[in-house]
Amino acid sequence: MADLSTPPPPKKPLFPLNGCRFDRMELAGSLGDLGTLLPIAIGMLLVNGISATGLFFAVGLFYIVGGLYYRVPIAVQPMKVVGAYAIAQSLDAATVQAAGLLMALFLLVIGATRLMNAVSCIITKPVIRGVQVSTGVVLATKGVAFILGTSALQQSGGMAEPFLGVDTFLWLPVGIWLGIAFLVVTLVLIDSKRLPAGIAVVGGGMILGLLFSGGAPLTGVSLGLHLPELLPFGFPGWEAFSLALLAMALPQTPMTIGNAVLANADLSREYYPEGERVTPRALCISMSAANFLAFLVGGMPMCHGAGGLAAHYRFGARTAGSNLIIGAIFLGLAVLVGPSVLQIVQLLPLSVLGVLLVFAGMQLCLQVMDIQGRRGMFTVFAMLAITLASNLAVAFIVGFALSHLLKSEKFSI
């Protein structure tokens, strides 16, 4: 006979919104990763001609579905190798879509066959920390470049804030003044619950963008109903697939495994121990689904990045509510504004995005503090040096080999 005196164990809530918060801290945290997301997105819209409606629609939906499934904050970022190469080489939209479809197929195979579980067992902690530190330094470096006005986007436009038509103030690039001001604002408000830093930085930046430009970028923006077009650039040809495979998909894969899967899962476990669903296999499958969607609507290849997660956390994201907030913003802009959405996001000064990048990068670098011993630190800093000299994909491969080599007593550091 059952013991009726013992109450049954509490059931886990089935409704995915349970535990979500929608307060100012979650809003601030949801904005924390715009410094990583928007510059590459804007570059691909301007240079590669991908669909603005499709890009914002896919990003917004990815944020929302990711939050509902994982039930903790999860980042959405561009695939950086794909984005950087596509922008640098001015590739057409069809080739970018081919790269996205190839990455979707690769990630589906890795995740569905459980190969990712085997890979995660042989990747050591120093390699994961090396990926995180390398990504953090790269993000912070790009942030400083935006503040100094030396990024490729600013140099091609010929001024510090090319979208706002502003260059210098008191003989210095205006971004330096803005960067210093917003760095101070962030330091003062980073732990504030009354006025979170993310809201102050993004909101203040947008207001300044309106003042600098006189609202010119908003000319012609009108509300309506805009739905993404299916395969707006047609199905890519074999030439597009061959270029995408060799120049983008293959170099991107080790970086995605290292940063968006292994480093991201490790960081999520530290920040959100309740996020049991954030596993390497699940991350592969969700990124695969997102890239299939982006391919269909003409968006950009996407991933979950450790740097983005660090940014969301540092600026206040503690529940999946942050995902639903930023997802609703992106999805709303796509559906209500459509192709004109680019004109709205260009109001945010690049130097302000740079401030977000600096803090996200530094937060990610702090993960190295739990590495003990010379061998582990040697692996981390060797990977950082290789990343700065080459790229993160090469650093991940070399770091993996080096970490196993240093396990032997034949080698000493």
354-401 pLDDT, tens digit each: 898 888 888 878 888 888 888 899 999 999 999 889 877 788 889 989
pLDDT band at 147 (very low <50, low <70, confident <90, very high): very high
Q: Per-residue pLDDT averaged across 268-283, rounded? A: 93
Stronger pLDDT, 114 or 294, i.e. the higher one:
294
pLDDT band at 46 (very low <50, low <70, confident <90, very high): confident
Q: Per-residue pLDDT averaged across 80-104, rounded? A: 89
Beta bridge partners of 169: 172
Q: How far is the C-alpha of 193 from the C-alpha of 215, rounded, in Å?
A: 31
Give the pLDDT score at 267: 93
Q: What does the pLDDT look like over 287-324, one tens digit per residue?
A: 999 999 999 999 999 999 888 999 899 899 999 999 99
103-112, 113-122, 345-354: the lowest-pLDDT one = 113-122
Give the pLDDT score at 9: 53
Give the pLDDT score at 14: 45
What token pair was written down for 25?
């801290």
Q: What does the pLDDT look like over 222-263, one tens digit per residue?
A: 888 999 999 999 999 999 999 999 888 888 888 899 889 999
3-state secondary structure (DSSP) of residue 304: coil
Contact predicate 126/407, CB 8 Å: no
Give the pLDDT score at 299: 95
Percentage of the chain beyond pLDDT 90 is: 44
Q: How far is the C-alpha of 299 from the C-alpha of 291, rounded, in Å?
A: 9
**Res 169 pLDDT > 70:** yes
Residue with tokens 């260059």: 167
Q: 115-128: b or e for each residue (b if 16 or more CB lie within 10 Å)?
A: ebeebbeebbebbb
Residue 199: CB atoms within 10 A of its CB come to: 20
Reported as half-sphere exposure (CB side, CA atoms, 13 A), residue 121 has a value of: 5
Stronger pLDDT, 230 or 216, i.e. the higher one:
230
Contact predicate 271/309, CB 8 Å: yes
pLDDT band at 121 (very low <50, low <70, confident <90, very high): confident
Give the pLDDT score at 369: 85
